């Protein structure tokens, strides 16, 4: 599901190797179910991946 919002492979790889990687798929699915727009989901995921 993460690949639906993040298009750059190096960004996905970075996100998969960060401390919070275990929650990204669930987080994206949750935001999608709540009706968040793809750009917002992408922005939120990028913000989390910086921690």
What whole-number distance in Å separates Cα of residue 32 and Cα of residue 20?
A: 18
DSSP string, 15-40: HHTSTTGGGHHHHHHHHHHTT--HHH
pLDDT digit string (tens) for 1-51? 778 878 888 888 887 887 777 788 888 899 999 999 999 998 988 787 776
User: Domain range for residue 6?
Assistant: 2-49
How high is the pLDDT of residue 10?
A: 85
How high is the pLDDT of residue 37?
A: 94
How high is the pLDDT of residue 23?
A: 81
How high is the pLDDT of residue 14?
A: 80
How high is the pLDDT of residue 21?
A: 77
In angstroms, what CA-CA distances link 1 with 7, 8, 41? 11, 14, 11
Q: Tell me, yes or no, if the pTM score tops 0.75.
A: no
Number of domains forming the structure of the chain? 1
What tokens does 48 get? Answer: 């989390």
């Amino acid at each position: 599901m993460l690949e639906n919002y993040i298009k750059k492979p190096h960004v996905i790889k970075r996100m998969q190797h960060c401390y919070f990687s275990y929650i990204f798929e669930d987080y994206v699915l949750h935001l999608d179910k709540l009706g968040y727009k793809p750009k917002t989901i992408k922005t939120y995921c990028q913000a989390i991946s910086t921690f």
